[in-house]
């Protein structure tokens, strides 16, 4: 029988990695990490784990109960593209006092949600396709002191730089060709100055096993973009979202820029969303396809009913910051109506009508943004939808 450490050690040795970087997610949805030398990577690491101070992690333990364990998942190991000779692996959290999974570990919450779907008998797998948008800025300044309060972002691509004589680095003339507010969707270069940046992000995402379907400039000026991942199961997609953010921020750093997933960094232009496409299947059959409204089944409509009925509570998970609500206003393609619609992007729940294929039938829940913790957000939406099915909630 193969030992749990074997595939991890093989990858590390095959790729000349001396270190194993262990990543886990805190409650707000940020990756944290610690690093072990290869000599500390053995079977005990994957059964017993390695310790850390849970009181120093947001949302975890108090100081009098701080000892916690990380248990790496061998299925998640990859070569980290941003650290020298280092492999990266994702871990779940365990309570050493009980020996059980830690109930506040977001990854464990996602695992429980997947198991609940199977136990319910409604379906055996849910598929998730989040559309993460982002901005890439050349500089970011902010401060909140006793005598000042300000922020400033800047971008060579920003329309507000049209009147400048020189580029931001003052190494050349201003050549214009900047997307105007709300006119940045799909222009070719030289207006879209971030094609190569996004291409590089796609290449790095491939290291994590992430399949990208397409990428493009988004509606806003100043480097707004979107890279669309192929749908996957709940836990795997939540892992992918964390890797996506990690890749974007580190590739931006390579370029001397900063990537942000802030929902509304610019006044008067489109914000950054994370529309989440979702569906439930059983025995290889898509359960949302039918002959009801917009080609949906009764079960699928009840799932949407659950999303809408629980939307006020879901917002704590899918749009968790005060800035999230600056995005959710009319006029910027953000959802502002608590309703179901085919095609209408102002509705909170939308049924895409691109293809009639039953396998493509899904609901797009539009309020989420990328500040959400994907493990908690996906789990919350799944539970809301299943509750709608159980109670036959009419959307």
The answer to whether residue 181 is catalytic is no
The answer to whether residue 218 is catalytic is yes
The catalytic position among 217, 275, 350, 362 is 275
SS (H, E, C) the chain: CCCCHHHHHHHHHHCCCCEEEEEEECCCCCEEEEEEEHHHCCHHHHHCCEEEEHHHCCCCCCHHHCEEEEEECHHHCEECCCCCCEEEEEEEEECCCCCCECCCCHHHHHHHHHHHHHHHCCCCEEEEEEEEEEEEECEEEEEECCCCEEEEEECCCCHHHCCCCECCCCCCECCCCCCCCCCCCCCCCCCCCCHHHHHHHHHHHHCCCCCEEEEEECCCCCCCEEEEECCEEHHHHHHHHHHHHHHHHHHHHHCCCEEECCCCCCCCCCCCCEEEEEEEEECCEECCECCCHHHECHHHHHHHHHHHHCHHHHHHHHCCCCCHHHHCCCCCCCCCEEEEEECCCCEEEEECCCCCCHHHCCEEECCCCCCCCHHHHHHHHHHHHHHHHHCCCCC
The answer to whether residue 200 is catalytic is no
The catalytic position among 105, 157, 226, 232 is 226
The answer to whether residue 232 is catalytic is no
The answer to whether residue 345 is catalytic is yes
The answer to whether residue 366 is catalytic is yes
The answer to whether residue 154 is catalytic is no
The catalytic position among 19, 131, 232, 239 is 131
The answer to whether residue 226 is catalytic is yes
The catalytic position among 85, 253, 345, 394 is 345
The catalytic position among 6, 53, 152, 394 is 53
The catalytic position among 133, 138, 204, 369 is 133
The catalytic position among 80, 138, 364, 369 is 364
The catalytic position among 138, 218, 232, 239 is 218
The catalytic position among 198, 310, 362, 366 is 366
The answer to whether residue 364 is catalytic is yes
Q: Just list the catalytic residues.
A: 53, 131, 133, 218, 226, 275, 345, 364, 366
């Amino acid at each position: 029988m193969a030992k749990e450490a074997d595939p991890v050690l093989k990858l590390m040795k095959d790729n000349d990695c001396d270190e194993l970087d262990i990543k886990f997610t805190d409650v707000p949805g940020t990756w944290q990490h610690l690093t072990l030398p290869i000599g500390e990577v053995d079977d005990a690491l994957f059964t017993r784990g390695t310790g850390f101070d849970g009181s120093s992690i947001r949302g975890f333990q108090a100081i009098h109960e701080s000892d916690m364990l990380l248990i790496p998942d061998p299925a998640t190991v990859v070569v980290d593209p941003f650290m020298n000779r280092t492999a990266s692996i994702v871990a779940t959290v365990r309570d050493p006092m009980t020996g059980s999974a830690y109930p506040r570990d977001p990854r464990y919450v996602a695992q429980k949600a997947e198991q609940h779907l199977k136990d319910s008998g409604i379906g055996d797998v849910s598929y998730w396709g989040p559309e993460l948008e982002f901005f890439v800025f050349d500089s970011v300044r902010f401060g909140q002191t006793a005598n000042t309060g300000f922020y400033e972002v800047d971008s060579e691509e920003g329309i507000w730089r049209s009147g400048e004589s020189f580029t931001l680095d003052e190494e050349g003339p201003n050549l214009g060709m900047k997307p105007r507010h709300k006119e940045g969707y799909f222009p070719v270069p030289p207006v879209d100055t971030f094609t190569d940046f996004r291409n590089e992000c796609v290449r790095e995402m491939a290291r994590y096993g992430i399949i990208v379907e397409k990428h493009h400039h988004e509606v806003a000026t100043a480097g707004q973009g979107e890279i669309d991942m192929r749908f996957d199961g709940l836990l795997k997609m939540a892992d992918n979202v964390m890797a996506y953010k990690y890749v974007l921020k580190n590739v931006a750093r390579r370029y001397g820029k900063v990537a942000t997933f802030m929902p509304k960094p610019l006044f008067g232009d489109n914000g950054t969303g994370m529309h989440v496409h979702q569906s439930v299947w059983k025995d290889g059959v898509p359960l949302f396809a039918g002959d009801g409204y917009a080609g949906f089944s009764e079960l699928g409509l009840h799932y949407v009913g659950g999303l809408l009925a629980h939307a006020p509570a879901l917002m704590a998970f899918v749009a968790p910051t005060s800035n999230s609500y600056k995005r959710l206003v009319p006029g910027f393609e953000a959802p502002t109506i608590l309703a179901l619609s085919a095609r209408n992007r102002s509705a909170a729940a939308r049924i895409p009508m691109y293809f009639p294929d039953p396998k493509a039938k899904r609901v797009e829940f539009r309020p989420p943004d990328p500040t959400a913790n994907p493990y908690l957000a996906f789990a919350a939406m799944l539970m809301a939808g299943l509750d709608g099915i159980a109670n036959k909630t009419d959307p």
